[in-house]
Amino acid sequence: MIQLSILKINDYGPWTLTLGSDREHELQILQASLYIELQKIFSKKNCLVFLNRADEFFVASNGLDLEDHIEIQKSLKEKFDIKLSISIGSADTPFTANKKAYEGKKNNVSLSDEHSIFGFINKSSDTQVTILHFDVDDLSSRRKTLSPFEISSIIFRLYSKMSQFFIDKNSLAFFMGGDNFMVISSIEGKKNAKDFIEMIKKEDGILLNCGVGTGKTSREAVNLATKSLDTIREIRDSGKEKPEVYELKC
């Protein structure tokens, strides 16, 4: 079971208008500050936060109970004037967990009125999340002929294809910066990595590597996925034939 917590700023649209038109810098500062704080709080609880369109945050929150979420809300209240709601969902696949969280909030299934928490906490002992860490092989060589903006355009086209491909497999893809992407997946979902790599190789001539990690918490899964990705690089750099997908187990 994968548990997802989606954090959203309450009434953000109308509130932004109250700042007047000279607001963009303030909004960017607020969004970046929120992201820093959330990544700090959740990583201390062994979770990773995934940035969604800069003003919404997805957390693979396996292992966190309602009390943890209340504690997080209390700490955010002390630091920010704006308030966030948290919607929680859990399911066998990340996409379904995301739908459950969404429906929990839409149907006002309250877990805590006071702290604006909605949805469903995973109460079963079955908690496991798989992370696929994708990275472009040798992006540096493209930088020799392409300008920074042209590189970004390639990366965002790739992100768009990845998002579509993995949503069809009930998994959620996020851009992590540079040429890095992470997909929140179920353990069965990892078999899709190879197919995606082949598709992108054929359609766009881009070579990707993918490290896979599974853990009881997202931080544990991400650690293993990144270690697996780094292992692909080590194999490649030692002159041996590298695997495109690699999975280290703890």
Ligand X SMILES: Nc1nc2c(ncn2[C@@H]2O[C@H](COP(=O)(O)OP(=O)(O)OP(=O)(O)O)[C@@H](O)[C@H]2O)c(=O)[nH]1
Count, residues in the chain:
250
- Total number of residues binding ligand X (CB under 6 A)? 13
Contact indicator for 229, 213 with CB cutoff of 8 Å: no
Instruction: Please give the residues from 220 up to 249 whose contact with ligand X meets the rule CB under 6 A.
Output: 226, 233
- Name residue, tokens 């768009």: 160
Q: Does residue 179 belong to the site contacting ligand X (CB under 6 A)?
A: yes
Q: Does residue 232 belong to the site contacting Mg ion (CB under 5 A)?
A: no
Q: Is the dihedral of CA 155, 157, 158, 160 positive or negative?
A: positive
Nearer to Mg ion among residue 97 and residue 232 (C-beta): 232
Measure the CA–CA gap between 239 and 41, rounded to whole angstroms. Answer: 41
Among 179, 213, 217, 226, binds Mg ion (CB under 5 A): 179
Q: Which does 140 bind (CB under 5 to 8 A by kind): ligand X, Mg ion, none?
A: ligand X
Rounded to the nearest whole angstrom, what is the least distance from the CB of residue 2 to ligand X in the complex? 21
Q: Does residue 226 belong to the site contacting Mg ion (CB under 5 A)?
A: no
Among 14, 20, 148, 177, binds ligand X (CB under 6 A): 177
Dig out the tokens for 152 from the structure.
Answer: 């970004």
Q: Does residue 180 belong to the site contacting ligand X (CB under 6 A)?
A: yes
CA distances to 39, 158, 205 from 149, rounded to whole Å, are: 27, 14, 19
Measure the CA–CA gap between 144 and 189, rounded to whole angstroms. Answer: 35
Instruction: Please give the residues from 112 up to 171 whose contact with Mg ion meets the rule CB under 5 A.
Output: 135-136, 139
